[in-house]
Structure 1
Amino acid sequence: MSEHGAQPTERIYVAGPMTGLPELNYPAFRAAAQELRERGYSVEDPSTNVNPTPGDYHGWLRAGLQQLIRCDAVALLPGWEASGGARLEVNVAATLGLRVAPLSEWLRTTATAVRDAAGSSVTSEAVVGREREPRVLTGSEQS
């Protein structure tokens, strides 16, 4: 809580496919980040990263994971299931107990409504299958 009693801004990481898409899907990442910011979230957008090891895909993954672990939640772009990097990020997020949901869910609610929802997180079992969306658990289902 701040000195004014307000909740701190929730930090959300944007995860989704990049490799093989036009402009590496950066326009979708940047539009998502802007929409989330307009709703009061602090956003980590991996499309703004500089690869510390040019020509090496692993450098991008490392940079994204550094951003991810500073976050409270993850917003998933459409097609995330087809991206090995995004699946890794979702698995790490679930393991760390972060809330994970499709971007559309974050945009449907306000920052306060999502933050006040009965503590939810994604189980790592939910991200194993590519075709399934993460299964969000309520506080009573979490272990």
Structure 2
Amino acid sequence: MLKKEFTQYPHHTDPYAKHRITDEELDFLYELQKEMNTQHSDMLTYPRIWVIQEPIKNYLDNVETDLRNDPDAVEYLNQIADGADLCIDCINITTPQQLYQTIQSIIKDNSLEEKYQVELINNYKVLIHGKNDIGKTMLWEGSLEKIQKNGLLAIVEWVMGYTYHHAELRYYTKELYQRPGIFFLTYKDGVRYLQKYADKYDKDVKLIETSPMDLFTDCSPEIKKLFDILHTVDFSKKNRKVYISGKITKTEDYQERFDVAARELLAQGYEVVNPAYEGTKLENASYEDYMKLSFQLLNDCDIIYMLKGWETSPGANQEFGYALAKAMEIRFEK
């Protein structure tokens, strides 16, 4: 067999503008990691994703629906079928309200107002009875999921026996089906999705955890590496470096001011670069030497923190301009 050739598509220029990671993005990653690592699990699988599993209906073919005189058939279908859909004029009736409106329409369209009336009780049960013959009362339970001698079959009997409309029961079994193309990194996110789109899914839908190891190990090591990063990288703020910038020249309290800011930033979880301290390591250095060191330190940081009064410092203004040109996050002392 000839080896299949795959077309090599050329790369194009990266169109995305870049920025240094922000606190909000780090918080998102930290909370995501916490949820992924601490959520309940029924399987010892890794990597773990959550997928939607719901039962789908497989309708039984060639099943007689007129079972009024055959209770044994009703019992048999109760054993092999998971449920039955009520169909009137080829339309599935799925809610008590829909059945109530349908029966109302049939009674009106067939000029049967003098013989029958329909009631909706507590938005759950539909009651059809003859005005002159209470003995013909029929009760329908709202779930529509089980065959009932005095429920669904009674509706079929009434529609077929007393109107010109067609009614039948469509029996079905349920099989579990995994929704393709939808997965979640956390169970909580899957629950939010199903709550938002509850009307699109069967009431017995659920989330199951799975680990498509074949995909991750054989086809996409990049995906497994991404999961490793999400699970193990420290996303706390201490990974972000903050450079303190402020007026030093011709001030006597700059060491104290820089130290106070450094302690506050350290308490918030940041790695702090204090040029007032780093500058003490230089001996016989010129102003240009200090500024060269400052830019070296600043280039390795994520955030620049401008102390009050920085506007009157030529050096701090240069650092501010450098940070601006590098699209760094800029903060100001309040």
Taking structure 1 as the reference length, the TM-score comes to 0.65
Give 1:53 deviation, angstroms. Answer: 5.8
Structure 1 counterpart of 2:291, one-letter code: L
Give the secondary-structure state (helix, strand or coil) at the position aligned to 1:22.
Answer: coil
Equivalent pairs, count: 103
1:77 aligns with 307
Work out the CA distance in 1 between the residues paired with 2:328 and 2:298. 10
Is structure 2 residue 239 aligned with structure 1 residue 19?
A: no
Q: Are 1:14 and 1:77, in contact at CA under 8 Å, matched by a contact in 2?
A: yes
Structure 1, gaps ≥5 residues long: 105-143
2 and 40 in structure 1: CA distance in 2 versus 1, 3 angstrom threshold: farther
Give 1:2 deviation, angstroms. Answer: 7.1
From 45, 54, 61, give the equivalent of 2:274: 45
Work out the CA distance in 1 between the residues paired with 2:258 and 2:252. 12
Give 1:10 deviation, angstroms. Answer: 1.2
Structure 2, gaps ≥5 residues long: 1-228
Percent identical pairs in the alignment equals 25
Larger helix proportion of the pair: 1
Q: Are 1:75 and 1:102, in contact at CA under 8 Å, matched by a contact in 2?
A: yes
1:80-119 CA-partner distances (Å, limit 9, x unpaired) = 0000000000000010110111033xxxxxxxxxxxxxxx
Taking structure 2 as the reference length, the TM-score comes to 0.29
Structure 1 counterpart of 2:290, one-letter code: W
Is structure 2 residue 318 aligned with structure 1 residue 91?
A: no
Work out the CA distance in 2 between the residues paired with 1:32 and 1:78. 11
Work out the CA distance in 2 between the residues paired with 1:92 and 1:39. 25
Give the secondary-structure state (helix, strand or coil) at the position aligned to 1:68.
Answer: helix
Give the secondary-structure state (helix, strand or coil) at the position aligned to 2:232.
Answer: coil
Work out the CA distance in 2 between the residues paired with 1:2 and 1:88. 37
Is structure 2 residue 288 aligned with structure 1 residue 58?
A: yes
Give 1:4 deviation, angstroms. Answer: 3.0
Larger strand proportion of the pair: 2
47 and 2 in structure 1: CA distance in 2 versus 1, 3 angstrom threshold: farther
Tell me the C-alpha RMSD between the 2 structures. 1.8
Work out the CA distance in 2 between the residues paired with 1:62 and 1:70. 13
